[in-house]
Structure 1
Amino acid sequence: MVSASSSPLARTPLFDLITTQNPRLTPFAGWEMPVQFSGLKAEHEAVRTAVGMFDISHMGKFYWHGRDARQHLRKLVPSDLMRLEPGRAQYTVLLNRHGGIIDDIIVYYQGQTETGEETGVMIVNAATRSRDKAWLLAHLEDTPVTLADISKDHILIALQGPGAIATLQPFVDQDLSNLPLFGHCQTHIAGGIAFVARTGYTGEDGFEIMVDIATGRTLWAQLTAVGVTPCGLGARDTLRLEAALALYGQDLNDTITPIEAGLNWLVHLEGHPEFIGRDVLVAQKAEGVARKLVGLRMGGRHIARHDYPVWADGAVVGHVTSGTLSPTLGEAIALAYVPPHWGKIGQSLEVEIRGKTYPATVVKKPFYRSPHRPR
């Protein structure tokens, strides 16, 4: 049951369809969302071995366009968006002037119009949508870039798992096997126009499909009819953690830099001379960081939860950010921030759980790498 709240929880346009599938509901970022349907383990296994679908319509969806739009947008992120070709996307972060992460986002570049405008889509987290929108608009105010919030007008469905292509292909008029990882296209689906991207938050192959509300409701019903497993936030969390994908608000926040978070690969300093927070990242690259995000494998099935202390040599040296019992591995895993000298692969640490400490070992991330995900 959903706990009482001082303000009513928002519901996605699929809510009434989803409730016919008997989910257990939970509050999440101001939304009433399914945490599980048939059960976390069954949903997790469906995505790892077959195909599952998630209603992620609560996430923020922005459409951007304008002359030289990528040039202006790239000043707001550490990734050089000028590297993007039409039909490709970049996972990146919005930074404050201290190099802290305001949000992690995906920027999709669609290409140029006949009038020379560049167009694209940006997906942001549900909890930070309003803040992201205000921040983006403020920094784009004196540019020719227009940012439109299309969140309430569109449904977003994540279809994830090794069976995703075979499941979705009959519904579209393009060959999805030709779409690379982080590639995207516009196509027709369920009688409407769809934005389809080969992206996701599970570590598996799959697609995120953005459509208008009527089309999205039809698509959810059609996918249900062909036997796709509906999945909730519970499986989404265990899947993303096995893949060591960060969750904003737990593993990332506005005091943590992308270098501390192990996201060095999205920081493009060469050829990208101007972006907010750059000086901080340059210094961290040169001097190192005081903490870094590491993967932990617990010595047993004791689950390390968010903010649990990490111990070494009789002192607290860090804190857990995310933890779960991995359905795929059958082991307890976690992410934690610790000083670099305590974060080397193979390092023995301890995690305090309800007043007692339990052994943990620093391991390489991700905890699980799917053989089905395209490279």
Structure 2
Amino acid sequence: MSDLLRTPLFPLYAQYEGVRCIDFGGWELPVQFSGIQKEHEAVRERAGLFDVSHMGEFTVTGEQAEAFLQRMTTNDVTTIVPGQAQYTLMCYPDGGVVDDLLIYKLAEQHYMLVVNASNIDKDWAWLQEHMTPGVNMTNISEQTALLALQGPLAVEILGKVTGTDAASIEPFRFVQDASVCGVSLLLSRTGYTGEDGFELYVSAEQAALVWNGLMEAGADLGLVPAGLGARDTLRFEARLPLYGQELSPTISPLEAGLGMFVKLNAGPFIGHEALLKQKNDGPARKLVGIEVLERGIPRPHYPIYTGDVQIGEVTTGTQSPTLKRNLGLALIDARHAALGTPLEIEIRGKKLKAEVVRTPFHKRTRTSNTPTQGAEQA
């Protein structure tokens, strides 16, 4: 895998005996450090630390920066203030998704976009194609590392290595000049696991210092390094979308159940007309949760039937590590999307009984809002 890209933290992986790396969208990244099940449970019960430095970051500045992003994305950029992040999507004119992303408002007319790793070049080209006067963009992906500290003990661990009052940072808010392990970085209360947690944007040169400092601080609280396998099962249980599976150029935000991030009344954006029509007509397809009632695990692209008619397919599926049930997300004909609807799923040439079930499959038990991030890319 010598031709694959590596994050600034790659040299640290070797210190973990059970680490196993894979090709993930052109990056050599750890699918696990000690085991997906162990890492998943650690994040649900204690805390896990993820290297997600493969994600891309662009800065957008200039007197027309806000207007530009309002035109390019589906959410309402005008509603966020400095120190606030916003989940949103970029769409094609037909309503299909270019990418899902986060927008950080650093100051007036100064933003940072966080995009999916395998979409960095595509997103950059799309934004450049629609660039308007009064807007400047810089790709800072290579010099920016990103760590995600996730789990119910994340606040306590972070409190050992920062003077910033991490507990007071609200979901989707951030501090630009936080000091963590003696390093100045952007500390954001966001994540992609369904648990409480933080994301730390730090210079590539200082990423290892922060990683090692956090691991040391969390050692007595059960903090573990976590890989892409647990990241996927965690986000799946929380019903957070993965680009390329729940979102794609052929799947719209409305079909994926992300209508709350599509502000059709906030002014026209690319894809506005198509999505307005889809909302008025009602999406023909809908993303639902399914449970296989017989012995079998749903996997992406497994076909779903009612009788002899295929009505859709699985987008993500696995045996839930938390619930020990064979669950999936599936994009199906909206006429069959009601809770409790009986379905069949074809697994290895055999049709097994399934039904539509409620999502998310897992919700945090704590009372505060769950910081979530949709952006991720296979």
Report the 3-state secondary structure (helix = DSSP H, G, I; strand = E; otherwise coil) of the residue aligned with 1:71. helix
Structure 2 matches for 1:154-193, cutoff 5 A? Answer: 154-186=144-176, 187-193=178-184
Shift of residue 373 of structure 1? 6.9
Structure 2 matches for 1:82-161, cutoff 5 A? Answer: 82-112=78-108, 118-140=109-131, 142-161=132-151
| Mapped contact 2:32–2:228 kept (Cα < 8 A) | yes
* Letter of the structure 1 residue corresponding to residue 156 of structure 2: A
Q: Give structure 2 stretches of 5+ with no counterpart.
A: 370-378
Structure 2 matches for 1:177-326, cutoff 5 A? Answer: 177-186=167-176, 187-226=178-217, 227=219, 228-270=223-265, 272-326=266-320
Q: 1:56 aligns with which of 52, 59, 62?
A: 52
Taking only aligned residues, the RMSD between alpha carbons, in angstroms, comes to 1.3
Q: 1:72 aligns with which of 61, 68, 71?
A: 68
Counterpart position of 1:367: 361
Counterpart position of 1:12: 7
Shift of residue 372 of structure 1? 3.4
Report the 3-state secondary structure (helix = DSSP H, G, I; strand = E; otherwise coil) of the residue aligned with 1:67. coil
Q: Give structure 1 stretches of 5+ with no counterpart.
A: 113-117
TM-score (norm 1): 0.94
Counterpart position of 1:115: none
Pairing 1:353–2:347 present: yes
| Mapped contact 1:36–1:235 kept (Cα < 8 A) | yes
* Letter of the structure 2 residue corresponding to residue 163 of structure 1: L
Q: 2:38 aligns with which of 42, 55, 72?
A: 42
Counterpart Cα distance in 2 of 1:243 and 1:12: 26
Report the 3-state secondary structure (helix = DSSP H, G, I; strand = E; otherwise coil) of the residue aligned with 1:78. coil
CA deviation map 1:104-135 (0-9, x unaligned): 101111223xxxxx212111100111100111
Shift of residue 143 of structure 1? 2.6
Counterpart Cα distance in 1 of 2:29 and 2:129: 31
Counterpart Cα distance in 2 of 1:338 and 1:291: 5
Counterpart Cα distance in 2 of 1:158 and 1:92: 20
Report the 3-state secondary structure (helix = DSSP H, G, I; strand = E; otherwise coil) of the residue aligned with 2:159. helix
Counterpart Cα distance in 2 of 1:244 and 1:151: 27
CA deviation map 1:234-262 (0-9, x unaligned): 10010000001111011110111110111
TM-score (norm 2): 0.93
| Mapped contact 1:72–1:143 kept (Cα < 8 A) | no
Pairing 1:335–2:322 present: no
Shift of residue 50 of structure 1? 0.4
Higher relative contact order (CA 8 A, sep 6+): 2
Counterpart Cα distance in 2 of 1:313 and 1:81: 45
| Mapped contact 1:204–1:372 kept (Cα < 8 A) | no
* Letter of the structure 1 residue corresponding to residue 57 of structure 2: K
Shift of residue 301 of structure 1? 4.8
Counterpart Cα distance in 2 of 1:179 and 1:335: 32
CA spacing shift, 1:236–1:81, aligned 2, 3 Å: same
Counterpart position of 2:376: none
Counterpart Cα distance in 1 of 2:61 and 2:14: 37
| Mapped contact 2:64–2:133 kept (Cα < 8 A) | no
Counterpart Cα distance in 2 of 1:290 and 1:269: 19
